[in-house]
A and B are shown apart, each in its own frame.
Chain A
Amino acid sequence: MYDLVIRNGRVVDGSGMPAFNADVAVKDGRIARIGRVDQAGKREIDAAGKVVAPGFIDPHTHFDAQLLWDGYAKPALSHGVTTVVAGNCSLSLAPLKAEHRMKLVGMFNQIEEMPLKAFKEGVVWDWESFPEYLARIRKGLAINVGQLVGHSVLRLWVMGEAAMERTATDAEISAMQGLLRECLDAGAIGLSTSYVDMDETLKPVPSRYADADEVDALASVLSEYGRILQIVPEFYDPDLTIARLDQLAELSIKYAIPTTFSPLFVSADNVEAVNRVMARVDEQFARGARVWPQVQTRPIDISFSFAVPSLLFIRLPGWYNVMRFGTRDEIIEAFSNPESRAKLVAEASSQMALWSFLRLRHVASEANQQYVGKTLAEIGEMRGVTPLDAMIDLSIEEKLDAHFIAESMGHNQDKDVGGLLKHPRVHIGASDGGAHILSFSTYGDTGYLFGHFVRDKKLLTLEESVRKITSETAAIWGIPERGLLQQGLVADIVVFDPQAIDRGAEVYVQDVPGDGSRYIRDAIGVDTVIVAGGVAWSAAEGYTDDVRGSTLPAPIENPLERIAA
């Protein structure tokens, strides 16, 4: 008898081959048979009218902290995502000495917009080394995790405060190489670095003080394991992006390693720039390099309130400094005091088109409910003030808990985005899952891919979309035994209705430690999500206790054998 049989489904096996009708049987956590299955299963799922596909893999997330209190990475798992890659953009929670914890929390807070209070109340700091961190998150892990090592934390461990001041000495680079080997032996999936990010004091993060020799030395260690290098380039400038991808291509060829950069956005005003970047990607692939750009499926929507700093204001230093460094009372005072308010208004008035276009999405008071859903232009007209003043006044009245949204700010031209997603050398990813939790929902990108680009716009086929977020992602990242429905492979499976799958509406929920809130989207049209043969989530049951997630790849049991090889 099988442990599980999924019957009557339409199998999209992740290879890109046309879908076919078959049953899928699972035994001991692996796919035992695909075809006609006569034997019964201890559990049976009727997938008539539904697609049976490999679990989706999300290669760009920041679930590092959330995994410490939520081994399901909710709600990513319910969207069919069975593997996430965490530790992107030079930031991971290990290896990390106790004295650097608050420094790293500050960076996560600044760069990934994750609340300080969640770290304070949701994290028990009982690890320092990378193996200790992996052991910690493995407890209660329902989703699979590929954990990158952050370059900034490697530097912090080896160099201390000097990591944020200077290049490393030869001895320090050698120590970083040793530390990276320890992480890769323990099961790290690769290394991440950043060329753009700033810490909580608005100074460059440690990885930006590394010279080319240091990155080269670390890439040489990745080469020993065939592991990936992920970077965040200066994505706002195509010349800089091309220079970075050339840098990556040299490392990729020299050390025979895969590399990836994220994000890459295409909007109405940068189509030609993105074409230039992609032409360069094509040339570098033709040389034999692997430089995978990551492209997200969803358009850019940004929500904010003035209660927490928002990167939407990063180019308005007066505003950003108030949001970043002010307490709630100080921010209200800055908005109320005529002199400081006038300065802020003057700084922001050149962007009146943006303020007019913002929409009020949430307030607590009864009196202001009448404005919810309206643009600031409309609210300003109702109140007889400018849109900018309306935003400030509402924020004061709501004690900063007035929430605004800038909708469809870019990456929203279907044909251009769809063309990129379909491109054979584009890697679908960059969801940022687990980060920016008060700016936008980073969940549901896969539902949006199938609902919007496959079903509604018909810009990609079902089979190629499944392939891109399963077997192709597994191949790029070297994720073993997953990404395909094939006899003998690990049974990470998602069952979904192709006519219904989508991302739900963005909703504001309070489920973050420390009474924190975030924006999420629930899954629509996903029926069952199976990890290593166990039903981890289903539409009928919700999240289950059958938790079988792993960290991927597995630790190297005998590092000496690797060295010998």
Chain B
Amino acid sequence: MMAAELSPVRKSILPQGGDSWETIAQRELPDTAQSDAVAMLQSWNLHVFMRAAGGVGRIRGDNPILPSDVIFVEPPRA
């Protein structure tokens, strides 16, 4: 079996350096208004969005996305 023959699964990406909801929205959902795209991404990625950020005064305090996170770029499949 080749990679291309794998069954389709929910599409996801791994963040690139410096990624935020906005940059991922721009790259992965370019045809959607940014605020809508960010809202969609957040709703598809509650495991990241609902996580407490890095903590007050910490470098990641304003961005909960970790470099190792799986970010879904589509809703769950039926």
Q: Quick one: which of B6, B10, B17, B54 contacts A283, CB cutoff 8 A?
A: B6
Smallest CB gap from A240: residue in B:
B70
Q: Does A505 contact B (CB under 8 A)?
A: no
Binds B, one of A206-214, A474-482, A487-495, A551-559: A206-214
Kindly report which residue of chain B lies nearest to residue A279, judged by CB atoms. Answer: B7
Say if the beta carbon of B78 comes within 8 Å of chain A: no
**Within 8 Å of chain A (Cβ to Cβ): is B76?**
yes
Number of A-B residue pairs at CB separation under 8 A? 68
- Whether the pair B7, A283 counts as a contact (CB closer than 8 A) is yes
Total chain B interface residues with beta-carbon distance under 8 A: 24
Q: From known contacts A195-B68, A211-B17, A234-B70, infer whether A287 and B47 are also in contact, taking CB-CB under 8 Å.
A: no
Give Cα A247 to B14, complex, Å: 10
- Verify A210–B68 contact, CB threshold 8 A: yes
Which residue on A lies nearest to B16, using beta carbons? A211
Which of B66, B67, B68, B76 counts the most A-chain CB atoms under 10 A from its CB? B68
Q: How far is the CB of B68 from chain A (nearest CB, A)?
A: 5
Shortest CB–CB separation between residue A24 and chain B, in angstroms?
42
Chain A CB within 8 A of B21 CB: no
Indicate if A312 sits at the interface (CB-CB under 8 A).
Answer: no
Residue of A nearest to B6 (CB): A283
- Contact for B1 among A201, A240, A286, CB less than 8 A: A286
* Contact between A166 and B14, CB atoms less than 8 A apart: no
- Asked if A204 CB lies within 8 Å of chain B CBs, one says yes
Kindly identify, within residues 162 to 180 of chain A, every residue whose CB is under 8 Å from any CB belonging to chain B: 165-167
- Chain A residues, Cβ within 8 Å of B33: none
A211 to B54, CA, bound (A): 17
A-B contact pairs, 23 of them (CB 8 A): A165-B59, A166-B59, A167-B67, A195-B68, A202-B52, A204-B66, A209-B66, A209-B67, A211-B14, A237-B47, A239-B76, A240-B47, A243-B9, A246-B6, A246-B9, A247-B14, A279-B7, A280-B7, A280-B9, A283-B1, A283-B7, A284-B6, A287-B6
Partner of A208, one of B1, B6, B12, B66: B66
Task: State the Cβ distance, B58 to closest chain A Cβ, in Å.
Answer: 7
| Bound form: Cα–Cα A211–B1 in Å | 28
A422-435: CB near B (< 8 Å → 1, else 0) gives 00000000000000
**Distance between Cα atoms of A234 and B68 in the complex (Å):** 12
Query: What are the residues of chain A within 8 A of B68 when measuring CB–CB?
Result: 195, 207-212, 215
Shortest Cβ distance from A212 into B: residue: B14
Q: Which residues of B come within 8 Å of A, CB atoms? A: 1-3, 6-7, 9-10, 12, 14-15, 17, 47, 52, 54-55, 58-60, 66-68, 70, 72, 76
Closest A residue to B55 by CB, please name it: A203
Taking the nearest CB of chain A, how far is it from the CB of B20, in angstroms? 14
A209 to B15, alpha carbons, bound, how many Å?
11
Interface membership of A328, Cβ < 8 A: no
| Cα–Cα, bound, A165→B17 (Å) | 13
A167 touches B7 (CB 8 A): no
Q: Which of A242-273 contact B (CB under 8 A)?
A: 242-244, 246-247
Asked if A165 meets B58 with Cβ closer than 8 Å, knowing A208-B68, A211-B15, A239-B72, the reply is: yes
User: Looking across the interface, which residue of chain A has its beta carbon closest to that of B9?
Assistant: A242
- Give Cα A237–Cα B48 distance, bound, in whole angstroms: 13
In whole angstroms, how far apart are the Cα atoms of A280 and B7 in the complex?
Answer: 8
Q: A210 vs B66: C-alpha distance in the bound complex, in angstroms? A: 8
CA distance A208 to B1 in the complex (A): 31
Docked Cα-Cα span, A159 to B2, in Å, equals 38
- Point out the residues of chain A lying under 8 angstroms from B14, CB to CB: 211-212, 247
Assess the A234–B47 pair: CB atoms within 8 A: yes
Asked whether, in the complex, the Cβ of A243 is within 8 Å of the Cβ of B54, the reply is: no
Given A203, A211, A286, which contacts B67 in the complex, CB threshold below 8 Å? A211
Q: Complex: how many Å from CA A203 to CA B60?
A: 11
16 extra A-B contacts, CB within 8 A, seeds A165-B60, A211-B68, A287-B6: A166-B60, A166-B67, A201-B55, A203-B55, A209-B66, A234-B47, A237-B47, A239-B9, A239-B10, A239-B12, A240-B47, A243-B10, A243-B72, A279-B7, A280-B9, A286-B1
In the assembled complex, the Cα of A242 lies from the Cα of B70 at a distance in Å of 10
A382 to chain B minimum Cβ distance, whole angstroms, is 39
- Using A208-B66, A211-B14, A287-B2 as known contacts, say yes or no to A203 and B54 having CB atoms under 8 A apart: yes
Shortest Cβ distance from residue A378 to the other chain B in the assembled complex, whole angstroms: 36
B64–chain A nearest beta-carbon distance, Å: 10
